[in-house]
Structure 1
Amino acid sequence: MKRTTWRSYSILIFSVLLTLNILLLDFVSQYVNQFTLNLYGFFIPLSIIAIFFLAVICFCSKTESKVISIIASLIALAGLAIIAFFMYFGANFAN
């Protein structure tokens, strides 16, 4: 029987935190100092690495239920799409 373990839930938590981190980056950057902003900015690549590392572990497990892992991976891909959009927009339309 397939079951959901801590790995699936940790992917989901990291995905939601990544999306919130990306969406609130502008708001946070206005109200915190530079050191806190750097720590806040380091969370984005670290959470992307953690999400895909845990996703590989979950998808390779035969006893793990894949439903929450798939949902969390889609949320993470949406976060990556937001990052890619802003990188493209900033590179091509910034003065």
Structure 2
Amino acid sequence: MKRITWRSYSILIISVLLVLSILLLDFISQYVNQFTLKLYGSFIPLSIIAIFVLAVICFCSKTENKVIPIIASFIAFAGIAIIAFFVYFGANFAN
């Protein structure tokens, strides 16, 4: 019987936090100091790495239900698409 474990829930929580941190980056950067902003900015790449490591572990497990990791992967890909959008437009259209 397939079951949902802590890995599935953790990948879902991390992917939701990733998207929220990307969307709230400008708002938070106005109210925190530089050290906190560096810690906050380092959370984004670390969470992407953690999502992909947990996704590989979840998808390789034979006893784990794959529904929540698939949903979390779509959310993470949306976050990566947001990052790619801002990197592309920042590199090509910045003055």
Superposed pair shares fold, TM > 0.5: yes
Residue 42 of structure 1: aligned partner: 42
Identity of aligned residues (%): 85
Residue 86 of structure 1: aligned partner: 86
Matches within 5 A, 1:26-65: 26-65=26-65
Unaligned runs of 5+ in 2: none
Question: Secondary structure in 2 aligned to 1:31?
Answer: coil
- 2:8 pairs with 1:8: yes
Unaligned runs of 5+ in 1: none
Aligned residue pairs total: 95
- TM-score in terms of structure 1 length: 0.99
What is the rounded CA distance, in whole Å, between the counterparts of 2:89 and 2:21 in structure 1? 19
What is the rounded CA distance, in whole Å, between the counterparts of 2:90 and 2:83 in structure 1? 10
- TM-score in terms of structure 2 length: 0.99
What is the rounded CA distance, in whole Å, between the counterparts of 2:78 and 2:55 in structure 1? 15
